[in-house]
Amino acid sequence: MKQEIMTIISQHQLAPRIFQMTLTGDLVNEMEKPGQFIHIKVPRADMLLRRPISINQINKESKTCTIIYRTEGDGTKVFSELKTGDSLDVMGPLGNGFDVDCLSAGQKAYVIGGGIGIPPMYELSKQLKQKGIEVVHFLGYASKEVAYFQDEFIALGDTRFATDDGSFGVEGNVGNLLLEAVKNEQPDAVYACGANGMLKMVAQVFSDNPNVFLSLEQRMACGMGACYACVCHVPDDETGTKSVKVCDEGPIFRASEVVL
Ligand code: FAD
Ligand code: FES
C-alpha cells in the first residue's frame, strides 16, 4: 500500500449520477488483484475521511487505473466536479481482492454485480478470461436509465441483465436470472458485489459451493485495519465478540466466513 498524488487524465459521466474517472501515477504499479480498492482524500479541507472506491480497471502499460462511482453525498459530488489535470491524494491498493487462483483454464465462473457493485467485477472478469476461465455475467440495475458498461461485459462473455422495473433485461433482481441459470449448470466459482440483500441471495442459491466470494461494503475510516470502524460479524460466534475488518481482511470474503 502506498500513498500518492495521482493525476486525473479523464472523467466523464456514464449515466445519471454515475461517473468514470481515469487516474495515472506510480501507484498503478502496485495494483494487481481485482476487487481491491483505493482510498481517496476529498480535496476539501473540512472532509477528513477518505472515500473508499473500488478499482474498475488496471492498465499497467499506460500506468492508469479507472474507477466508477455514483454521487451519494458531498465527497463523491466533489469528485464529480474535478477535471482533467486535477490531482487527487490516493492511498492504495487496499483490501485482499478476489481469489482467481482457485480456478484453472476451462472452468466456469459466475460474475454477479448489482448497481454500483458492478465496477470491480469488470477487472475481475478480464483477469479470469485471461486465465482461460469461462465467465458468465449477471448484472442488475435499477432501470435502463442507470445501466452502464453493458457492452464492455458483453465483449468478455455471456452477459445477462435484470432491472428492477423491467426496462432492460429480465424484470426483477439478478436472483431470477441465477435461479434460471442453475437449472442447467453449476459454476466452479461465484463472485459477487452489490447490496447486502443481493449478497444474501447469492449465498443462499450457491450454499453448496465452497468457492463463493462476496465483496462487502462497510463504512470505513482509516481503511487499513487500525480503527475497527468497518467490522463485520462471523458465523458460530456464541459470545458475539468475534469480527473481521472489512477494509484489510476483506472486502472479499468466502460466503461461509461472514454473517451478512
Ligand atoms: P456521504 O454519505 O456524505 O459520506 C459520509 C461518510 O460515510 C464518508 O466517510 C463516506 O466514506 C462514508 N460512506 C457513505 N456511504 C458509504 C458506503 N456505501 N460505503 C462506505 N462508506 C460510506 N461507491 C461507488 O460509487 N463506486 C465504487 O466502486 C465503490 N467501491 C467501494 C468499495 C468499498 C470497499 C467500500 C467500502 C465502498 C465503496 N463504495 C463505492 C461506496 C463509497 O465509498 C461511498 O458511496 C462514498 O464513500 C460516499 O461518500 P460521500 O461523501 O459521497 O457520501
Ligand atoms: Fe479502520 Fe477498517 S476502516 S479498521
- What's the ipTM? 0.97
Q: What is the model's pLDDT at position 116?
A: 97
* 69 marked among binding-site residues: yes
Q: Is 112 in the pocket of ligand 2 (CB under 6 A)?
A: no
pLDDT at 238 over 90: no
Q: What is the model's pLDDT at position 240?
A: 81
pLDDT at 181 over 90: yes
How close are the terminal C-alpha atoms of the chain, in Å? 27
Distance between CA atoms of residues 52 and 41, nearest Å: 9
Task: Quick: pLDDT tens for 47-93.
Answer: 999 999 999 999 999 999 999 999 999 999 999 999 999 999 999 99
129-144 in b/e form (b: 16+ CB < 10 A) is beeebbbbbbbbbeee
> Is beta strand 252-254 parallel, antiparallel or unpaired with respect to 212-215?
antiparallel
Distance between CA atoms of residues 91 and 38, nearest Å: 6
Task: Quick: pLDDT tens for 30-44.
Answer: 999 999 999 999 999
Cα 101 to middle of ligand 1, angstroms: 28
Asked if omega into 93 is within 30° of 0 (cis), the reply is yes
Q: Kindly indicate whether the domain formed by 108-215 is annotated with CATH number 3.40.50.80.
A: yes
Which atom of ligand 2 is nearest the CA belonging to 225? 4
Record the cell numbers describing residue 84, joined without a space.
Answer: 482533467
- Average pLDDT in the chain: 97
Each domain of the chain, given as residue ranges in start order, spans 2-94, 108-215
Write the CATH number of the domain with boundaries 2-94: 2.40.30.10
List phi, psi (to 5°) of 185: -160, 165
Percent of the chain beyond pLDDT 70?
Answer: 100
Q: Is 251 in the pocket of ligand 1 (CB under 6 A)?
A: yes
Q: What is the model's pLDDT at position 1?
A: 82
Q: Is 72 in the pocket of ligand 1 (CB under 6 A)?
A: yes
- Residue 176 CA: distances (Å) to CA of 109, 172, 220, 242: 18, 7, 32, 34
* 117 marked among binding-site residues: no
Task: Quick: pLDDT tens for 107-162.
Answer: 999 999 999 999 999 999 999 999 999 999 999 999 999 999 999 999 999 999 99
Q: Is 31 in the pocket of ligand 1 (CB under 6 A)?
A: no
Distance between CA atoms of residues 65 and 57, nearest Å: 5
